[in-house]
Amino acid sequence: MPQECLSEFRTALLHYLDFTQKQSFTKLAKLQRERAVLPISQYQDRLLCTVAQNQVLVIAGDTGCGRSMQVPQFLLAAGYNHVACTQPCRIACISLAKKVGFESLHQYGNQVSSVGW
């Protein structure tokens, strides 16, 4: 393959990667803004304090309050590395794990995974 074609392909690929990265960061910035106004965010410190004092914590809240998405991220950011979250079905569990991984920029690597349903 001629060097000129390889150079053009490389340039196009870099533009594509830059575009997809900007799209991801735009989505992430929007998610972080939305996250800050979720009802659960005002309880972050209290949740972490309660978890530090108890081995098991059951959290109940209205649909959309952020408990499924935000609480695992609060705990992971605080240094807890064994967090169990339940969902009514396998698909919801996998979806939740993927979203938590995306929102946390996969900084926890394989620690964020689906564990059951």
Residue 109 pLDDT: 62
Residue 115 pLDDT: 45
Please tell me the pTM assigned to this model: 0.66
The C-alpha torsion from 67 through 68 and 73 to 78, rounded to 10°, is 50
Share the mean pLDDT of the chain: 83
What's the rounded Cα separation, in Å, for the pair 62 and 39? 9
Taking residue 116's Cβ as centre, other Cβ atoms within 10 Å add up to: 9
Q: pLDDT digit string (tens) for 52-75?
A: 999 888 889 999 898 888 998 898
